[in-house]
Amino acid sequence: MDSELHDIVVFVNGTRYRRRVEARMLLSDFIRHDLLLAGTHVGCEHGVCGACTILFDGLPTRSCLMLAAQANGHDVTTVEGLAPSPGRLSLLQQTMHEQHGLQCGYCTPGILMSMTAFLAEHPSPTEAEVREALSGNLCRCTGYQHIVDAVLAAAFRGGTKA
C-alpha cells in the first residue's frame, strides 16, 4: 500500500529545503537520510536518550518523536548549524573540547543542542541547574562531570555566543 506523501518546506540551519516526504517519516530520519545532516544521532527512537535533540523554532526537541511533515514551515537547527562559521566552534563546542566533555561522542550533538538552548535561557546557571538540565540527555561514557564543567565554563565565558 502506498504511503501518503506530503510536500514540505523546512528551514534547516538557515537553508530552505523543499521536499516530498512520506507521512510516516520521522523528522530524525528526514534530517539524517534526506538532508544528509548525520550529526543528529539516533539512539533509542523513543524519546528517552536525547541523542536526536535539535532546536525546533529555537526550542530543544527530540526529532525522533516528530514527523518530518510536522516540520513544514518551521525552523530547525542541527548541530551542523551551531558553529558560527567554517573552521570555528561555538563557545560551548570549544569548552566541551577543552574540558574533555566527550568520549565516544554519540551523545554529544544532542547535549550541545540541549545545553545551547539551556544557556540561552540561563546564562549564569548553578552546577545543580546544569545537572538538572542535563538529565534529559543520556551519556554512557563520561559520568557527566566533564560535561557539567564544560557547560559551566561556557557560561563563565559568556553564554553560547562564539
Q: Which of positions 26-45 make contact with ligand FES (CB under 6 A)?
A: 42-45
Which of residues 105 and 123 has its CB atom nearest to ligand FES in the complex? 105
Member of 51, 54, 79, 154 binding ligand FES (CB under 6 A): 51
Q: Among positive and negative, which fits the CA dihedral 110, 114, 120, 126?
A: negative
Q: Which of positions 75-134 make contact with ligand FES (CB under 6 A)?
A: 102-107
Member of 38, 141, 153, 162 binding ligand FES (CB under 6 A): 141
Q: How far is the CB of 12 from ligand FES (least distance, A)?
A: 17
- Contact between 11 and ligand FES by CB under 6 A: the answer reads no
Q: What is the Cα–Cα distance from 33 to 99, expressed in whole angstroms?
A: 32
Residues that bind ligand FES (CB under 6 A): 42-45, 47-52, 62, 64, 102-107, 139-142
